[in-house]
Amino acid sequence: MWRLSSVRHKAAPQGRSVEESKLKRREQEKVLRQARKDRQLVSKRLLLSDDEDDDDAPTPMDADSGDRVVGLVHQLQHSSHEKEPQLKALSKALRNPSAQTIFIKQENSMHLLVGLLSGSQAQWRLLAAQCLHELSQSHQPNVTLACLPATPYLLTYLSGQSTKFTERCLYTLGNLCPDSDVIRDKLLAQGIVPALKKCMESQRYNLAVVEAVGFTLSQLLQAKDAAEKIIPMVLASGLHSHLLSVLTPDPQFGLAPAIECAWCLHYLTCSTVDNSALRAEGALSRCSSLLVTLGDAVSKGNKEDGMELLVWPLLRSVGNLLSSGPTEDMSSQVGHLHLLPTLCALARAYLPSQPALARESTWVLNNLTADSRELCVALLDLNLIPDLIQLLPFSQGINTMVLRVLGNVAHKTNSYCSRLAQAGLVPALCATLRMSEPDIVVLSLEVLFMLLAGCPQVAEEFVKQDGITLLEAIQYNGEGEIRQRAAHLLEHHLPS
């Protein structure tokens, strides 16, 4: 159905074995996890230029590359017409980090590039932009800071008509955003948000550009201070409604633009608790209905490559949009009813490959059912309880969240308790009560309490499952809150 067409990246250099690639992925994953813990998770994207082969090996670092850069700059500064080959060579050379440092240290080098970028020669503009794009890949603050003089021009070109050029400018800006507060503040002052909005409006049929806008915005929105500085601007500009309108993936172009916009929506919804502006634009129903469509495809076995990249931010947006806001919203939106089987299907489908995604599905289920009687009864009517029970063996937060969902249902009314018992919850609880994680045991006891209090027949079934012996053993647990709950059940709700 939808294909994921990723930005043309540097392919992995040839000659790497599968094992080496795996190793590299694992190492990079570790690096990313640590970066996230340090709240410095930053990625950059490289757009290859049209005439480049994917097979191009990265420029090896040698003693000459520095000299080469110096020489090229010199030539560019002093020749008046023949610049193309040098610019091309320069952009290639600037892939090399040490060459980048040498370049920015060279006097007037940035001035040269900016001049070419803003000059009248279209081809030179393009190539100068390419050089800047290479520089933007750097993770060294002095390199990216040195690019600041170019940003007003890059922003101006966003409203231009040359789409390839616009794309390149966008990715360059997107790469520069996460690096420092100074850069971000400058960009915000220079009007990046309205520029992005205008670009998205005028280029909405050019999905490559839309993807690039989405990427750039997502980079801005990940900033630590986004909630205070950036998000209010974005909401004030109305950019979020454009994001919503782009969400449906185009069958031919692929998932990529929708992916970028969905991640932007996620950063918007998770950074602030008050999402009324987004809700006013129908964000919840838009994201829910897309999620339902995707879930449908997934349960039919049409798991497209990269679909998780779209499902994930949609789940999070829906989850966080549901977390605040009036409770009447819950049942008044029919879309929520359809979400219930979708979420269960997503959890089941992604459990083996992406258990964290399954966990987030159950979180959304919690937010749907916590305050809505209608949705709880729908969970029962749609016979989804057995599906949820099947998730109970799985750890890393999955079973705790499922127990919360079941608790939400049991909490509502006594008649639901007997239906939960009929669906097979009691033997399942007898298993979760034996688990080693205290959170799981406490939640299991809570759910059991509600079942026993709501439906006396449950006691019979529980006793038949040898539940009394189990609770007696639980009275010896090291955690006080576990012992007390078990004791209370034995004392007040079970035959002695």
Partner 1 sequence: MSNLRCFGIEGCDADQKSPFSFTPQRLHVNKDHPLFEDGDIYRHMYLQNLTASETDDQPKLSVSEFGCHISGCRQLLRSVEEYEHHYASLHRHTCSSCRRCFPSARLLDVHIEEWHDSLFNILSHSRDMYQCLVEGCGLKFRTSTQRKDHLIKVHKYPPDFRFDKAKREHGKEIKPQRKQSSSVEVMQGVCESASDVCEDMCAAERDQQEEDMEAMELQGPSGPGAQGSPCVGTSAGQQATETGSDWQKPRYSYRVPATVCFGQGSVRGFRGRGRRK
Q: Does 435 bind partner 1 (CB under 8 A)?
A: yes
Burial of residue 56 (CB within 10 Å: 0-12, 13-18, 19+) is: middle
Output the smallest distance, CB 356 to partner 1, in A. Answer: 3
User: Which is nearer to partner 1, 115 or 355 (by Cβ)?
Assistant: 355
The contact mask relative to partner 1 for 2-31 (x = CB under 8 A, - = no) is ----x--xx-x-----x---x-xxx-xx--
**123, 142, 163, 484: residue in contact with partner 1 (rule CB under 8 A):** 484
Piece in contact with partner 1 (CB under 8 A), picked from 57-65, 85-93, 294-302, 396-404: 396-404
Residue pair 169/175 in contact (Cβ under 8 Å)? The answer is: no
The contact mask relative to partner 1 for 99-128 (x = CB under 8 A, - = no) is ------------------------------
User: Which is nearer to partner 1, 158 or 450 (by Cβ)?
Assistant: 450
Piece in contact with partner 1 (CB under 8 A), picked from 124-132, 152-160, 366-374, 417-425: 366-374
Q: Does 267 bind partner 1 (CB under 8 A)?
A: yes
**3, 164, 198, 411: residue in contact with partner 1 (rule CB under 8 A):** 411
d(CA 432, CA 467): 12
d(CA 46, CA 66): 22
Residue pair 444/402 in contact (Cβ under 8 Å)? The answer is: no
Piece in contact with partner 1 (CB under 8 A), picked from 92-100, 137-145, 181-189, 442-450: 442-450
Q: Does 447 bind partner 1 (CB under 8 A)?
A: yes
Output the smallest distance, CB 241 to partner 1, in A. Answer: 22
Output the smallest distance, CB 355 to partner 1, in A. Answer: 5
**60, 78, 81, 476: residue in contact with partner 1 (rule CB under 8 A):** 476
**Residues between 219 and 258 that touch partner 1 (CB under 8 A):** 222
Q: Does 360 bind partner 1 (CB under 8 A)?
A: yes
d(CA 308, CA 99): 38
Residue with tokens 């955690």: 479
Piece in contact with partner 1 (CB under 8 A), picked from 95-103, 132-140, 186-194, 268-276: 268-276
**67, 201, 381, 472: residue in contact with partner 1 (rule CB under 8 A):** 472
d(CA 262, CA 313): 6
Q: Does 64 bind partner 1 (CB under 8 A)?
A: no
**239, 402, 450, 458: residue in contact with partner 1 (rule CB under 8 A):** 450
Output the smallest distance, CB 144 to partner 1, in A. Answer: 17
Residue type, 318: V
Output the smallest distance, CB 73 to partner 1, in A. Answer: 30
**347, 443, 455, 458: residue in contact with partner 1 (rule CB under 8 A):** 443
Q: Does 402 bind partner 1 (CB under 8 A)?
A: no
d(CA 296, CA 326): 28
Burial of residue 80 (CB within 10 Å: 0-12, 13-18, 19+) is: exposed
What is 241-262 written as a DSSP string?
Answer: HHHHHT-SPBTTTBSHHHHHHH
Piece in contact with partner 1 (CB under 8 A), picked from 113-121, 157-165, 332-340, 402-410: 402-410
HEC string of 354-393?
A: CHHHHHHHHHHHHHHHCCCHHHHHHHHHCCCHHHHHCCCC
d(CA 10, CA 208): 17
User: Which is nearer to partner 1, 36 or 464 (by Cβ)?
Assistant: 36
d(CA 436, CA 419): 28
254 forms bridges with which residues in the sheet? 250
In terms of Cα–Cα distance, which of 399, 290, 291, 307 is closest to 342?
Answer: 291
d(CA 241, CA 259): 15
User: Which is nearer to partner 1, 323 or 333 (by Cβ)?
Assistant: 323
Output the smallest distance, CB 398 to partner 1, in A. Answer: 9
Phi-psi region of 34 (alpha: psi -120 to 50; beta: other; left: phi over 0): alpha
**127, 230, 349, 440: residue in contact with partner 1 (rule CB under 8 A):** 440
250 forms bridges with which residues in the sheet? 254
d(CA 378, CA 90): 63
Residue with tokens 């930005």: 7
**Residues between 28 and 47 that touch partner 1 (CB under 8 A):** 28-29, 32-33, 36, 39, 41, 43-45
